[in-house]
Amino acid sequence: MIILGLDPGLAKTGWGIIEASGNRLRHVAHGTVKTRPADALADRLVQLYVGLETIMAAHACSGAAIEEVFVNVNPQSTLKLGQARGVVMLAAGRAGLPIAEYATRLVKKAIVGTGAADKAQVHAMVERLLPGVKVTGEDAADALAVAITHAHLGATTRLQGAA
């Protein structure tokens, strides 16, 4: 199973692709789709969509895992993040990928062992779980963490369904 993990953001959306085969994980690719802050919101959302569309066209993903939005102190920031997340979900949906959503605390708990882990801890554990991979960017590390979480939780769900 090829899993696309996504960490939505308007300025930067992290993405990471892994291959999961049983307990084995293999890094495929990762990166960040960036938008230009000086551009109009609509143009930034189009940049995000086109960037993700290009990534999905280059990789034969079988599913997408997306980090859920958390509420910021600033309502405007939360609204923009929600719009970016909508575009991320649209891009995955238009690519025909089944979409799973995971809360940030669940991803941190699945990767590090505690829902209160910081970004550095998540980044370090992602590199430990994908040996030999040097992850560039915390957004990409978060996206890979979401993909790994989906691989582990999806495998557990499939095993429970088989029992």
Please give the positions annotated as active site. Answer: 7, 67, 139
Amino acid at 57: A
Q: How far is the CA of 64 from the CAs of 15, 33, 90, 120, in angstroms?
A: 10, 16, 11, 24
In sign, the C-alpha dihedral spanning 153, 154, 156, 160 is positive
The torsion of the CA quartet 91, 86, 156, 59, rounded to 10 degrees, works out to 20
Q: Identify the CA nearest to 82 among candidates 66, 96, 99.
A: 66
